[in-house]
Amino acid sequence: MPRPISARIHPDAVRHNLQLVKRTARSSRAWAVIKANAYGHGIERIYPALADADGIALLDLDEAVRVRELGWTKPVLLLEGIFEPEDVETAERHRLTVTVHCDDQLALLKAAKPRARIDIQLKMNSGMNRLGYRPGEFEAAWERASGIEAVSSIGLMSHFANADDGAIDWQIDEFDAATRNLPGTRSLSNSAAVLWHPRAHRDWVRPGTILYGASPTGCARHIEGFPLRAAMTLESRIIGVQTLEAGETIGYGRTFKADRAMRIGVVACGYADGYPRHAPTGTPVIVDGVRTRIVGRVSMDMLTVDLTPCPAAGIGAPVELWGERVRVDEVAEPSGTIGYELMCALARRVPVSIDSVVPRKEEAPSA
């Protein structure tokens, strides 16, 4: 028997969240962002839930090829574009749309003699200062791109630095001013802009983290108004119980000291499974269906929980570390990180299962 820890992936939750995106940005098409192996969920595992997406966006050429091999015929966008001359051929063969954020990438396209032409998304650095042409350089870059034989259509994109905490109008204004004279589809919005900035929706949105039910801000409270469903549940069991007397401590560093007699449950889950070591005493956890808290330091293979609110829970009691009842953000935030990182960092040693996908009503044969 393996240790009693496992992750369950819920493709139906992804499908539900994608529908929510489509209802929120009604007149936009949606690139489903599935980079980093679908934010740790596994591309193949959630693929059946993506049928209603208009395109798939990711970074790795290998992942793009995997998506084509799964049978995806709609657009596939490489969010960082291509890196080497041979990537042009891969992009051509698999009909990949490539982001172009600098002249080195234009040079790769110019040097290549593809048989088919390639759709590109020309990227503007509107203030993020990571990838892209500055607004003042953008129109000239567009001219150069449109003169390249290998280039088919040119979409225009940019990325927000702080759509999660408020003001993005300055970046939209930069983008709009610099693209005023240019044709092509526009794409600006990550998850945060999908939820909170309708002005940024445009032709294509690019939601990532909300497809998996996590908060773009890293704070669970901020998505309370949106019925997003968690796409991953990390669960385990109690494998040991200790009864402490007042004044006794638990775990490495003795960081938690009981102020009264209390029962402690030992859970088979530690930082080697992907649970954050920085999760402090008080981080929420569900034991036997009851919300309680972790206490003491998280170790490599175990963590400890307060059994006071669930006196009947003993060895074998089920534990939800994150999922539908404890949002991954509720674990991430007190640990000084965001749900994105925890989902991506699920450890390889954790066995993963997949909920079966319930056919949608529309798919049922009509009477």
Residues making up the annotated binding site for substrate are 130, 300
Binding residues: 130, 300
Q: Exposure of 195 by Cβ count < 10 A (0-12 exposed, 13-18 middle, 19+ buried)?
A: buried
State how far the Cα of 29 lies from the Cα of 202, in Å rounded to an integer. 9
At residue 315, φ and ψ (nearest 5 deg) are -60, 135
Does 208 interact with ligand PLP (rule: CB under 6 A)?
yes
- DSSP label of 226: S
Q: Give the angle subtended at the CA of 357 by the CAs of 354 and 359, to the nearest 5°.
A: 175
Does 191 interact with ligand PLP (rule: CB under 6 A)?
yes
Is 361 a catalytic site residue? Answer: no
Q: Give the angle subtended at the CA of 326 by the CAs of 56 and 360, to the nearest 5°.
A: 45
Q: Which is nearer to ligand PLP, 40 or 216 (CB)?
A: 216
CB 92 within 8 A of CB 115: yes
Q: Which of 17, 37, 121, 190 binds ligand PLP (CB under 6 A)?
A: 190
Stretch that binds ligand PLP, among 22-30, 143-151, 205-213, 270-278 (CB under 6 A): 205-213
Closest-approach residue to ligand PLP (CB): 208
Question: What is the DSSP annotation of 63-121?
Answer: HHHHHHHTT--S-EEETT---SHHHHHHHHHTTEEEEE-SHHHHHHHHH---SS-EEEE
Does 171 interact with ligand PLP (rule: CB under 6 A)?
no
Does 28 interact with ligand PLP (rule: CB under 6 A)?
no
* Alpha helices per DSSP H over the chain: 11-24, 35-39, 43-46, 61-69, 85-93, 103-111, 135-146, 169-179, 191-196, 328-332, 339-344
Does 215 interact with ligand PLP (rule: CB under 6 A)?
no
Q: Which is nearer to ligand PLP, 159 or 237 (CB)?
A: 159
* Shortest reach from residue 341's CB to ligand PLP, in Å: 12
Taking phi first (over 0 means left), then psi (-120 to 50 degrees means alpha), and beta for anything else, what does residue 29 get?
A: beta
What track of x and - describes contact with ligand PLP for positions 74 through 113 (by CB under 6 A)?
-----x----------------------------------
Q: Which is nearer to ligand PLP, 228 or 317 (CB)?
A: 228
Q: Which is nearer to ligand PLP, 81 or 274 (CB)?
A: 81
* Shortest reach from residue 109's CB to ligand PLP, in Å: 19
Does 159 interact with ligand PLP (rule: CB under 6 A)?
yes
Q: Which is nearer to ligand PLP, 126 or 209 (CB)?
A: 209
* Shortest reach from residue 219's CB to ligand PLP, in Å: 14
Gap between the terminal Cα atoms of the chain: 47
Stretch that binds ligand PLP, among 201-209, 224-232, 284-292, 310-318 (CB under 6 A): 201-209
# residues contacting ligand PLP (CB under 6 A) = 11
* Shortest reach from residue 33's CB to ligand PLP, in Å: 4
* Shortest reach from residue 360's CB to ligand PLP, in Å: 24
Q: Give the angle subtended at the CA of 57 by the CAs of 55 and 58, to the nearest 5°.
A: 150
Query: Which residues between 314 and 343 bind ligand PLP (CB under 6 A)?
Result: none
CB 30 within 8 A of CB 18: yes
Choose, from 22, 35, 212, 340, the residue flagged as catalytic: 35
Q: Which is nearer to ligand PLP, 14 or 79 (CB)?
A: 79
Choose, from 22, 113, 123, 252, the residue flagged as catalytic: 252
Is 252 a catalytic site residue? Answer: yes
* 104: Cβ contacts below 8 Å, ≥ 6 apart: none
- Give how far Cα 144 sits from Cα of 75, 103, 178, Å: 24, 9, 16
Q: Which of 75, 132, 135, 216 binds ligand PLP (CB under 6 A)?
A: 216
Binding region for ligand PLP (CB under 6 A):
33, 35, 79, 159, 190-191, 206-209, 216
Active site residues: 35, 252
